[in-house]
Chains A and B, each alone.
Chain A
Amino acid sequence: GENVEQHPSTLSVQEGDSAVIKCTYSDSASNYFPWYKQELGKRPQLIIDIRSNVGEKKDQRIAVTLNKTAKHFSLHITETQPEDSAVYFCAAKGTSYGKLTFGQGTILTVHP
């Protein structure tokens, strides 16, 4: 089955800096790659996603890139703010309808 590796496990940045989280996946048939943000005591919230026919997608300060050949995708957050502090999860969906395999999570801390 699908295996998703996420790095780093923790990331600490200063406000205004950029943050990058990287994930690799194993199933070349995977075609959907969402990113979720989870604040303490809350459910994971979808922040951005990308499909396999797209190489990059941007939404304001957040961008995701996908390299299908290398089977990796990354989340980029620019101009970080303290409210970006949370746990971020990448995930991949293979050919099985609706089933996501998650990375291990990255604890992002943005220092004011």
Chain B
Amino acid sequence: SAVISQKPSRDICQRGTSLTIQCQVDSQVTMMFWYRQQPGQSLTLIATANQGSEATYESGFVIDKFPISRPNLTFSTLTVSNMSPEDSSIYLCSVVEPSGNTIYFGEGSWLTVV
């Protein structure tokens, strides 16, 4: 299976600041996906990161709040901008296994906004 590394694994952030999360995959993948999991909730897709084009955002998520970069086929970043306590969540990146449909998740980035 694909090995997906995320940084940071955890962080405590001040209200109003921004934090960038990195996602590195050990193989080239067409698309990378960013999910959010708020405390006690399920996972919700934020956006799809496409290499060479702008990210595609899901309803309720906007580029100004969650800018995404995808400089190559193995790396992506998600920035959580102007954070508020409501942004306290686990942020996960995921990829589709190059050989097929199987979808895997990175270890997640646990953000707490105080």
Q: Are A93 and B103 in contact (CB under 8 A)?
A: yes
CB distance from A46 to the nearest CB of B (A): 6
- A-side contacts of B107, CB under 8 Å: 42-43
> Which of B11-19, B64-72, B75-83, B94-102 faces chain A?
B94-102
Given known pairs A32-B101, A43-B108, A93-B103, the reply for A99 and B30 (CB within 8 Å) is no
Q: Are A99 and B45 in contact (CB under 8 A)?
A: yes
Q: Are B92 and A100 in contact (CB under 8 A)?
A: no
A112 within 8 A of B: no
B42 within 8 A of A: yes
Q: Type the 1/0 row for B11-41, where 1 means its CB is closer than 8 Å to any CB of A.
A: 0000000000000000000110100000001
A-B contact pairs, 19 of them (CB 8 A): A32-B101, A43-B90, A43-B105, A43-B108, A44-B43, A46-B103, A46-B104, A51-B101, A89-B42, A91-B43, A97-B30, A97-B31, A98-B31, A98-B33, A99-B33, A100-B45, A100-B103, A104-B41, A105-B42
Q: Are B105 and A44 in contact (CB under 8 A)?
A: yes
CA distance A103 to B44 in the complex (A): 10
A25 within 8 A of B: no
- A-side contacts of B45, CB under 8 Å: 99-101
